[in-house]
Chains A and B, each alone.
Chain A
Amino acid sequence: MKIIVTLACCLALISFNTAMANTLRIAFDADPVSLDPHEQLSEDTLQFSHLAFDPLLRWKQNGQFEPRLATKWQRLDDRTIRFFLRRNVTFQTGHAFSAKDVVYTIERLKKSPDFRAMFDIIESVSLVDDFTVDVHTTYTNPLLLNIMAYVFPMDKVFYQNHDQIIKYGESFASRNVSGTGPFILVNRELGSRLELKRNPDYWDKNSLGNVDRIIFTPIRADSTRLAALLSGDVDFIFPVSPIDIERTKRVAGIQLVTLPSTRILLLHMNQARRKELRDRRVRKAINLAINQPLIVKKILKGYATPAGQLSPDSFLGHINDLEPEYNLAKALELMKQAGYEKGFRISMMAPNNRYMNDEKVAQAIAAMLGKIHIKVDLKTLPKAQYFQEFDQRSADIMMLGWQSDTVDSNNLFEFIIACSDAKTGLGAYNASEYCQPSINDDIRQANREMNPEKRRRFLQQIERTLHKDSAIVPLYWQDLIWAAKDNVNIQDIVNDQNYPYLGDLFIEQK
């Protein structure tokens, strides 16, 4: 019996091997927690959405939008955009895609606990005809397109009537998928494997993509993930730890692709907990004592961009002349003026497994603050516990990383520095307890201003105020680092939001 089983398996394997055309084996650090695209707003869920579903429109590498399931769009007035949808697209169940699916999906997004905050501004969606929808916002909104990039139409016929979004239990949508995307899910072992095959009826015939099968394995440990690539067991990994970069570069047949991301790392100085931090001179001194370029060079091996503000280069709010400043003499002078020549003790917390080398960076910062006689009691925690502490504002200085959901400065401001308001959710991550009413006004204005020039002025004004007040300590924007075999052309399909468009990935035959 056993022999027969073994033989059958061998035969199956052999036939299987010949059928394998272009298999891409991927190892990332996390897998999507659910197949329901609306259950969690997180990087891994969105990565999966780009495989099994298509967005209405998506970001290109140059920061422009390109049409996907929407072929074009036009603004009807300040509060309405009309989307013209692609025809002859089918879901993997065979159901035809039409405007009703888009309406259904947006209405479901408005019910999702995670996406609700973003989609609240959409008042309603109306059907014009089978392939046209009008999206109305509650007030004039310049970022509607950025938000619509999160709409991955779901198969209404397939999901309807059993589409609850449940975060901790069984739901139909968390186990079953029907999208229009380039890949169809074959099987999934939660936490250890995800397998997809090419969608034979995919609408995008112009795509160069030639991947027939994807085997995705989440590998949490950096060294195991890299070993898997170096030993040839996988073809494409993310992320690569900075300490391994030099080594990986030396390996023949392996390529490294990096892009600056828009994720900003910063420190919050809690003004409610410590009277010392209410003094602008002390905050300024802390800003001057921290040497961002050195941290980037030594600890992140150059794979980040030192920051003197929150908005990265590509954002509207970015101000070119705000560079990080390091001046120890001036910092000491300011401490003296503020009456803290002898310094003081302060508590600091940072995660140790959330951002690139976060723990080492925190230790370096603690040492730098020691130079201006601030003794830092540093505590680093795994992210699972850290954010609990963050919510409770448990330390005087806390580290935070933030990537803007809308690819716009205002999202950073709303969450990180707006005055905290439990009702609206504004300032949810403002662990500085810094509150500047003028900033809140600017945020509100920038949310409604349609003229990009005027909008830029509002956003830059916020950055200026932050800098003037030394409200926070911006550290750096961290890079994204992928590695793959040479014949896998990942450089064409990765982007700064880390949603690799694997549907367009071209693998060269060796």
Chain B
Amino acid sequence: MLIFLLRRLLQACFVMIIISIISFAIQDRLGDPVRQMVGMTASPDERAQLRDELGLNEGFISQYWRFAKGALHGDLGTSYYYKESALTVILSKLPATLELAFCAILIVTLVATPCGVLAAIKPKHLLSRFLMVLSSIGLSVPIFIIAIFMVYFFAIEWNIAPSFGRGQTTHVFGIWESGLFTKDGLHHLLLPSLSLALALMPIFIRLIRAEMMEVLQSEYIRFAWSKGLSARRIYFIHALKNTMLPVITVGGIQAGTLVAYTILTETIFQWPGMGFLFMDAVSRVDTPLISAYLMVVGGMFVITNTLVDLIYGFVNPTVRFASHGL
């Protein structure tokens, strides 16, 4: 067990090093940060001096070494634009993104589960067919199209919900800027979370349907029928339980997609979260912030994956002895 644990942790460290090299290496490709700091009329001399002060004229290796040393101490550099530690900036935007993602996941769970189950139980039903067609369309329509349509109808035409921003926020527990506790905040949350949910929904509906159909074929369900249990009990207790396990696993894998989608959603709705921050940093060539974001997101992935692996290792010992080729 100990060997397995160490091996997994080593792998995680190795992956993080690769991520750090990549996120640092793209810095040169993004443009000139100095150009963003000075006006058009600043002389070339002024700009050269600023490059020196920022240490941009040193070699790649020495720059990376400085970055890596800082990263080990939890210092991912200072954002040029925000003028404070990049990690602090990212963490301050984290609540907005998490709330958005949480609400989207909530909507997906509450809507996709009954839809998927319905489509599995009554595959010939008109509503089920309609759902399947809709989810096929949903799979192939990009999220920004959905979002733009939502803004057009809900915000401009019908004036139901605001089109951008986060609205009123309150401090909860002293550290968390939350929009969940004000009417205005919830109002602002409506469109972005719905867009994000609609982007993730189709895949889950189809997945739940497929899993459920498979489960309904199994022996123990037939046995339950023959015992004379009520339909509701069979569908929603016995079958759904076993359906949800693989769905949750896939849900974990979808976390990456969720990150990608939050970047798009936040950009469209001017949602002040991490994704929006990242896009902003790219257009401002705020290189320390870009690297820090990639490190943080990469770190999240590595941690979740490692944890999932370890838990699997505990639950299913055979996994531990399968060689991982390290």
Contacts A5-B170, A191-B82; A233 near B285 (Cβ below 8 A) = no
B284: nearest residue on chain A (CB-CB)? A384
Given that A227-B156, A425-B43 are contacting pairs, would A217 and B37 also be in contact in the complex, using a CB cutoff of 8 Å?
Answer: no
Say yes or no: B38 contacts A114, CB within 8 Å: yes
Q: Please report which residues of chain B, range 163-185, place their CB below 8 angstroms from some CB of chain A when the two chains form the complex.
A: 163-165, 168, 170, 172, 181-184
Identify which of A168, A220, A227, A388 contacts B37 (C-beta below 8 A): A168
Q: How many A-B residue pairs have CB under 8 A?
A: 148
Q: Which of B41, B80, B151, B181 contacts A118 (CB 8 A)?
A: B41
Q: If A13-B184, A189-B272, A384-B30 touch, does A219 touch B39 (CB 8 Å cutoff)?
A: no
Name which residue of chain B comes closest to A423, CB basis: B45
User: Known: A113-B42, A114-B38. Contact between A190 and B82, CB under 8 A?
Assistant: yes
The proximity string for A residues 146-160 relative to B, scoring 1 for CB distances below 8 Å and 0 otherwise, is 000000000000000
> Is B50 an interface residue, CB under 8 A from the partner?
yes
* In-complex Cβ contact of A231 among B44, B45, B159, B182 (8 A): B159
The answer to whether the Cβ of B219 comes within 8 Å of any Cβ in the partner chain is no
Contact pick for A169, options B32, B78, B170, CB 8 Å: B78
B160 CB → nearest A CB, Å = 9
Partner of B83, one of A170, A189, A387: A170
Which of B244-252, B263-271, B307-315 forms part of the interface with chain A? Answer: B263-271
Q: Are B181 and A170 in contact (CB under 8 A)?
A: no
Q: How large is the interface on A (under 10, 10 to 19, 20 to 34, 35 or more residues)?
A: 35 or more
Residue of B nearest to A46 (CB): B39
Q: Is the CB of A388 within 8 A of B43?
A: no
Which residues, 39 to 96 on B, are CB-close (under 8 Å) to A? 39-46, 49-50, 53-54, 78, 80-84
CA distance A217 to B30 in the complex (A): 26
Q: In the complex, which residue of chain B has the Cβ closest to the Cβ of A27? A: B164
List CB contacts (< 8 Å) of B197-232 with chain A. none
Question: Does A405 sit within 8 A of B, measured CB to CB?
Answer: yes
Indicate if A337 sits at the interface (CB-CB under 8 A): no
Complex contacts, B165 vs chain A, CB 8 Å: 192, 217, 233
Q: Is A257 an interface residue (CB 8 A)?
A: no
Q: How far is the CB of A213 from chain B (nearest CB, A)?
A: 15
Residue B190 at the chain A interface, CB threshold 8 Å: no
| Any B CB within 8 A of the CB of A10 | yes
Q: Which of A41, A190, A219 contacts B270 (CB 8 A)?
A: A219
- Interface residue A497 (Cβ < 8 Å from any Cβ of B): no
A320: CB under 8 A from chain B? no
Residues 202-256 of A at the B interface (beta carbon under 8 Å): 217, 219-221, 223-224, 227-228, 230-233
B241 at the interface (CB under 8 A from A): no
Give the residue of A42, A118, A190, A233 whose beta carbon is less than 8 angstroms from that of B162: A233
Q: Are B148 and A223 in contact (CB under 8 A)?
A: yes
- The reply to whether A41 and B159 contact each other, CB–CB distance below 8 Å, is no
Given contacts A223-B148, A384-B30, contact A117 B41 (CB under 8 A): yes
With A and B bound together, what is the CA distance between A29 and B269 in angstroms?
A: 14
Between A and B, 13 residue pairs with Cβ closer than 8 Å are A5-B170, A40-B37, A41-B40, A174-B83, A190-B81, A191-B81, A224-B270, A228-B164, A231-B159, A232-B159, A384-B31, A388-B35, A423-B45
